[in-house]
Structure 1
Amino acid sequence: MTRTLAIANQKGGVAKTTTVESLGAALADLDASVLVVDLDPQGCLTFSLGHDPDQLQASVHDVLLGEEEIADVLLDTEDNVTLLPATIDLAGAEALLLMRPGREYALRRALAEVAEDFDVIIVDCPPSLGVLTLNGLTAANEVIVPLQCETLAHRGVGQLLRTVSEIQQITNPDLTMLGAVATLFDSRTTHSRDVLADVSDRYELPVLDPPIPRTVRFAEATASGTSVMRGRKNKGAAAYRELAENLWKHWEAGEPMRTFEGAAV
C-alpha cells in the first residue's frame, strides 16, 4: 500500500521543505520508490531538487485545476525521487479552487492516478492553513509537524492540530498524526529540550526520534539547489536517514515510532 505523508506547519522557516527533500532522498536510498509533491507557490522544494520553477511549462497548479494529467508533469531528480513541481502560478490556484465543489479532494484524486507507481508520497504543504494545505492533509494517510526548537516556535501548533482534527471529521477520517520532528536542535543547550518538553506536555504531541541538529549544511544546500543528503557526510543528513529508517520500520514491520527520550507511540 502506498503511504502518503504530509509535512505541515503554517509557521514558515521550520524546515518543512528540507524535511520533505531529505526524508524523500533517505527513503529512496532504502530502495523505496518516492514521489515528493511541492504544494508551496514559492517552489522551494522544486528548486532544491534541481529544477528552476521559472522555466517549467506545467506544474501541480495545472494538475489541481484539471488542465494537465499528473503523469505528464512529473520530473526526475538527482535524489532518485520523482517530483511533482510547483511554480508561482500555484498562488492563484487557491482562489480558483475555492470556487469548485470538492476542492479539498483535488490532490487526492490526482495522486490516485499514479499512486500504484510509488511506495511513498511526501507532500510539502505551504506555510498556511489554506485550501492547498487542506488538499495535502486530505490526500495523506499521516502527518508530521516539523518544529523549530526555539522559544515561541510552537505558536500555531494548537491551530494546526485543530485543523487536523477537523480534516479527520470531515474529509479524511483515516488521517493519523504521527508527531513532531524537532528541527534546528542544539543538544548543547537545555533550551531546545525545554521547548520540546513544553510542546509534548501542552499538546500531547509525540516528538519523533531523532531530533534534527542545527547545521550550516542545510543553508548551503538550499542556496545551491542541491540536496544535503548528497556530498560529504554531515550530522543533519545522518539524522534524516535515521528518521527515515524509523518511518520505514513503522510502515513495513508495524513497529511503534521511536520518540525522543525513548518513549514509543
Structure 2
Amino acid sequence: MASPPAHDREKVVSKLPGWLRQELKIRAAQLGIEIQAAVEQGILHWSALASSPSSVDTAGADSFSTWLPPGQWDDFKATAATRQVSLTQGLAQAVQVWLEANPTPAVKRPDVPRRLIVCNQKGGVGKTAITAGVGEALAESSDSLYPVRISRHFAAALKQEEPAVRELPGIGLRVLLVDFDPQSHLTKQLGLEPLSMEGDSLTKHMAGEPVGKLADLIVPVESDRFGDRLYLLPSCNDAFLLDVKLAGVRAREAALERALASVEGDFDVVLVDCPPSLGLSMDAAVHYGRRRDGEAVGQSGVLIVVQAEDSSADAYDLLTTQIEDLRTDLALELDYLGIVVNHYDSRRGFIATSSLRAWMDIRDPKVVGLIGDLKEQKEAVRLKEPLLDYAPRCDQALGIRALAREIS
C-alpha cells in the first residue's frame, strides 16, 4: 500500500508478501506514523547492520509501492547486491527489522474504570443500539484495522457530503455493558436471555437483597472480534420494581455504585443502558457516572441520545433539568460526554434538517455523534447479533467507531 506522496520523496515499486504488508500497515497505524516513514526507518536500520538478518518467507509476494527520500532506494539496491539478496528479500528483511524494533504498543487503560451513562427520558431514540455499538467499538481488537469515519464536521450531513474514512486499529478495552432497563432490550439484542425473577439480579443487589455474587451474573458476548473483552450484565424484569425498592434504601443514589463496586475493577469501561425514566433508578445511574476523586474531566459521565425531531428536545430538557438538580443537591462533579443524534435521515426534510441544526447549535454539551437511520442496525437486532459483527463496514458501524473515539 502506498503512502501519500511528498515533494521531497520519490516513488519506488517492489514486492512484499501480503502477511508482512498487513503487519506493517497495522503497526504503522498503531504507532500513528506513515507507512513510508516506517519503510524508510527499516531500510536505514537494515543497511546499518553488519550483515543480513535471517531470511523472511516471501512466497506469494506481490506489488508494493511507497515513497522514499531521493537516493535511498538506489543505496538500498547497492547494499542488497553486496549482500547477495534479492530486492524483495532485502525489503522484507528491512520491514521485519522495523517491526522488531517497534513492537505493538500496549493498550492504554484508564487508571479508574470509566463509567458511561447512556440515557434519555424518551423511549425509542436508540439508547440501546448506541450503548451496544459503543461498547463493541471500544472492545474491538487493537491488533486489527477497522474503517472509521474521521470527519467531526457533522454539519456536512446537511450538504450530503461524504466524510473521510480511515482504517484504524481497534481500541482494545475490556468493556462491561449493563442492561439497566427492565424491558431487557440490550440483553435480547445481543442474543442473550434476561435473568429469571426467581434468581439473583442487579435489582436485588441494589436493594440490599443479593442472592449470590454479582460477578456470577455477568456473561461474555461471544465473538472473535471482541475476544474476551466484551461482557454483559443482563437485565431482569424485577427492575420494574427498582424505584419502589430504592425508596426504602439508605443513600439510594449510590445504590448502583455499591452494587457494581465488586466487578467494575475487572473492566476498563462500564456502559449503563438506562431505562426511559426520570425516577430513582435514573438518579442512581447519574450518580454512578459522576467524576471521582483524581479522575480526569470527561472520562466518565452522561451520554445523551436524541433524534432530530421535536419530542426529543422536550425530553432532553426534562432530563437535563433532573441532572442539574442532582448536581446541585448532591454537589456532584458530573460531566456531559455529549449528545448523539441517532436515526438521522435528511430525506425526512425540514423537520430533520432543522432539528439537527438546533442540536448542533448547542455548545455544552456538544454533538459528538451522528448516526444514520439505516437497515443494518434493524437487521442486526432481528438476527440478535452485534452490529459490528453483522455489518462491520456499514455506514452505522463507521459512525459508531467515530463516536467511540470521540468520547474516549
Report TM bin, short chain.
0.7 to 0.9
Q: 1:85 to 1:171 in 2, by over 3 A?
A: farther
Superposed counterparts of 1:92-111, under 5 Å: 92-111=241-260
Q: Which residue of 1 aligns with 2:338?
A: 179
Name the Cα RMSD after superposition.
2.0
CA distance in 2, matches of 1:41, 1:246: 29
CA distance in 1, matches of 2:328, 2:235: 29
Could you list the per-position Cα deviations for residues 180-225 of structure 1 after superposition, in whole angstroms to 9, with x for gaps in the alignment? 10101124555433112223547854111x3001111222222222
Q: Which residue of 1 aligns with 2:120?
A: 9
CA distance in 1, matches of 2:191, 2:379: 14
Shift of 1:151: 3.5
Q: Which residue of 1 aligns with 2:380?
A: 221
DSSP-derived class of the 2:313 partner: coil
2:217 aligned to 65, 73, 78, which one? 73
Superposed counterparts of 1:5-44, under 5 Å: 5-29=116-140, 30-44=171-185
Aligned partners of 2:337 and 2:407 also within 8 Å:
no
Shift of 1:62: 2.3
Could you list the per-position Cα deviations for residues 38-57 of structure 1 after superposition, in whole angstroms to 9, with x for gaps in the alignment? 11001111111221116584
Aligned partners of 2:179 and 2:186 also within 8 Å:
yes
2:263 aligned to 100, 114, 130, which one? 114
CA distance in 2, matches of 1:152, 1:64: 32
Aligned partners of 1:187 and 1:213 also within 8 Å:
no
Shift of 1:115: 2.1
Q: Which residue of 1 aligns with 2:201?
A: 59
Q: Which residue of 1 aligns with 2:277?
A: 128
1:49 aligned to 171, 190, 200, which one? 190
Superposed counterparts of 1:134-149, under 5 Å: 134-140=283-289, 141-149=300-308
The amino acid across from 2:207 in the alignment is L
Shift of 1:63: 2.2
In the alignment of these two chains, the number of paired residues is: 247
Instruction: State the TM-score, normalized to the length of structure 2.
Output: 0.57
CA distance in 2, matches of 1:204, 1:76: 35
Could you list the per-position Cα deviations for residues 116-162 of structure 1 after superposition, in whole angstroms to 9, with x for gaps in the alignment? 21111111110011111111111013101111112332112111111
Superposed counterparts of 1:208-247, under 5 Å: 208=368, 210-232=369-391, 233-247=393-407
Aligned partners of 1:4 and 1:121 also within 8 Å:
yes
Structure 1 stretches of 5 or more lacking a match? 249-265
Aligned partners of 2:360 and 2:366 also within 8 Å:
yes
1:154 aligned to 303, 313, 331, which one? 313
CA distance in 2, matches of 1:234, 1:52: 27
Q: Which residue of 2 aligns with 1:252?
A: none
Q: 1:172 to 1:221 in 2, by over 3 A?
A: farther
DSSP-derived class of the 1:184 partner: strand
Q: 1:223 to 1:55 in 2, by over 3 A?
A: farther
Is 1:192 aligned to 2:352, yes or no?
yes
The amino acid across from 1:207 in the alignment is V
Higher alpha-carbon Rg? 2
The amino acid across from 1:75 in the alignment is V
DSSP-derived class of the 2:367 partner: coil
Could you list the per-position Cα deviations for residues 202-261 of structure 1 after superposition, in whole angstroms to 9, with x for gaps in the alignment? 7854111x300111122222222211111233111111011112222xxxxxxxxxxxxx
Instruction: State the TM-score, normalized to the length of structure 1.
Output: 0.86
DSSP-derived class of the 2:388 partner: coil
Q: Which has the higher contact order (CA 8 A, sep 6+)?
A: 1
CA distance in 2, matches of 1:164, 1:84: 25
DSSP-derived class of the 1:53 partner: coil
The amino acid across from 1:48 in the alignment is Q
DSSP-derived class of the 2:133 partner: helix
Structure 2 stretches of 5 or more lacking a match? 1-111, 141-170, 290-299
CA distance in 1, matches of 2:326, 2:360: 22
The amino acid across from 1:227 in the alignment is P
Structure 1 window deviating more from structure 2 (45-54 vs 89-98): it is 45-54
Q: Which residue of 1 aligns with 2:84?
A: none
CA distance in 2, matches of 1:2, 1:171: 22
CA distance in 2, matches of 1:139, 1:214: 30
Q: Which residue of 2 aligns with 1:164?
A: 323
Instruction: Report % sequence identity.
Output: 32
Aligned partners of 1:5 and 1:121 also within 8 Å:
yes
Q: Which residue of 2 aligns with 1:88?
A: 237
